Amino acid sequence: MQHSSKIENVRYELRGPILHAAKKMESEGQRILRMNLGDTAPFGLEAPESIVMDMIHHLPGAQGYSDSKGIFSARTAISQYYQTRGLMQIGVEDVFVGNGVSELISMTLQAFLENGDEVLIPAPDYPLWTASVTLSGGTAVHYVCDEDNQWWPDMADVEAKITERTRAIVIINPNNPTGAVYPRFILEQFAKLARKHDLVLFSDEIYEKILYGDSVHIHTASVAEDICCLTFSGLSKAYRMPGYRAGWVALTGPRAATAAYRESLELLASLRLCANVPAQHAIQTSLGGHQSIDELVKPGGRLREQRDLAWKLLNDIPGVSCVPAAGALYLFPKLDPEVYPFANDEQFVLDLLEEQKILVSHGTAFNWGAPDHFRFVILPATEDIEEAVRRISAFLAVRRKSGAAVPLQAVASAG
């Protein structure tokens, strides 16, 4: 069997050759320090017990299919949550529940794009967006986020990338992998461009509750009430439930302009029958109960302390600089190309894995244009963060002494 031509330009390297190499090493008995994926469960960050118990309570009644858009109580809770945050136009029928945000990204793009349509996506991005646009027949066009300006989008570059084929702009806020949180004036500029060029806004807000310091999250839809906007969120990060697959998307904007699209989205939702029903019962309890993530991100909280420590230690490495994350679960440090002239950051990550038994993600996997960044996850405990940075520092010290990058082997040889 041959694979579909639709797969040709699809990449999701977070689970690609480097992860396969790590699994092979582990199968041989080697212990790998994993700093690569934003999965909370392996690091002892578990879902609140009250949410788990509520799911268990509802299990006997969750054996059948639900409404294809999601159970009524879950959609009501989502609607009420947004209304308490000023989005009064979001009602129960504007909400679709899915098997995580990932499924909904694919579904909403499939219902929207024609072959050749262009979608603007941030660079760096969460690569599922680029892959999903490609699989839906569209073309991903990446606008630049400015590392020297808190990783906020370069709005001049955004507008310069708009063509007659552009249909939508993707906003990831807080951003994965940079941790940037966008201020109101940035979102207002996105809305202004959408009005000017008749574009749809796709706003990925899965990390909206994971904020540090004085960061404030603003819903894109709150500054774009007159624009077709899709807001994505879910339970996987703030409620430490990635495996339960409970996410949602809320549609806002002029109803007449979105009527045909809503019908198409309902059709696709029906084709997959429904989302995971037991997990849907966790949504009402989650949104209406104690927000336990607040204890983790405030000063003295585990995630805040781990972010601060990782940021300081990474910046202490000669030739490494890192913007502090304002939100989310990651740092995106830069390797000074004058100090570390790596031509291939995927090979850099593979060499780091083989020599130091530590797994991180290379920057170009997030559609960043240069081989000079990597993503570092802040979920592990402080002692693991310290050990991970020590190994990275030792690896880079050898490269500094050599005066150039060590000769690289082909990544494929690792498989």
Q: What is the pLDDT of residue 407?
A: 42
Contact 175, 206 (CB under 8 A): no
Please provide the CATH number assigned to the domain covering 49-288: 3.40.640.10
In this prediction, residue 61 carries a pLDDT of 86
- Phi/psi region, residue 367 (left: phi>0; alpha: psi -120 to 50; beta: rest), is left
Q: Residue 265 and residue 253: Cα distance in Å, rounded?
A: 15
CB 108 within 8 A of CB 249: yes
Q: Where are the domains of the chain?
A: 5-46+295-414, 49-288
Assigned token pair, 48: 């609140």
Look at strands 247-252 and 200-204 and give their pairing: unpaired
3-state secondary structure the chain: CCCCHHHCCCCCHHHCHHHHHHHHHHHCCCCCEECCCCCCHHHCCCCCHHHHHHHHHHHHHCCCCCCCCCCHHHHHHHHHHHHHCCCCCCCHHHEEEECHHHHHHHHHHHCCCCCCCEEEEEECCCCHHHHHHHHCCCEEEEEEEEHHHCCEECHHHHHHCCCCCEEEEEEECCCCCCCCCCCHHHHHHHHHHHHHHCCEEEEECCCCCCECCCCCCCCHHHHCCCCCEEEEEECCCCCCCHHHCCEEEEEECCHHHHHHHHHHHHHHHHHCCCCCHHHHHHHHHHHHCCCCHHHHHCCCCHHHHHHHHHHHHHHCCCCEECCCCCECCEECCEECCCCCCCCCHHHHHHHHHHHHCEECEEHHHHCCCCCCEEEEECCCCHHHHHHHHHHHHHHHHHHHHHCCCCCCCCHHHHC
Task: Say which CATH class 5-46+295-414 falls into.
Answer: alpha beta
Query: Any idea which residue has 């570092």 for tokens?
Result: 376
Q: What is the mean pLDDT of each run of 10 residues along the chain (415 residues)?
A: 74 74 89 88 86 88 89 95 94 95 95 95 96 94 97 97 97 97 98 96 97 96 95 93 92 90 92 90 87 91 96 96 97 94 91 93 93 95 95 93 50 34
Nearest to 314 by CA among 367, 364, 377: 377
Contacts of 10 (CB under 8 A, 6+ apart): 131, 134, 135
Measured between alpha carbons, how far is 115 from 138 in angstroms, rounded to an integer?
5
Give the pLDDT score at 84. Answer: 94
Measured CA to CA, the distance from residue 147 to residue 21 in angstroms comes to: 30
Q: What is this structure's pTM?
A: 0.91
In this prediction, residue 412 carries a pLDDT of: 34
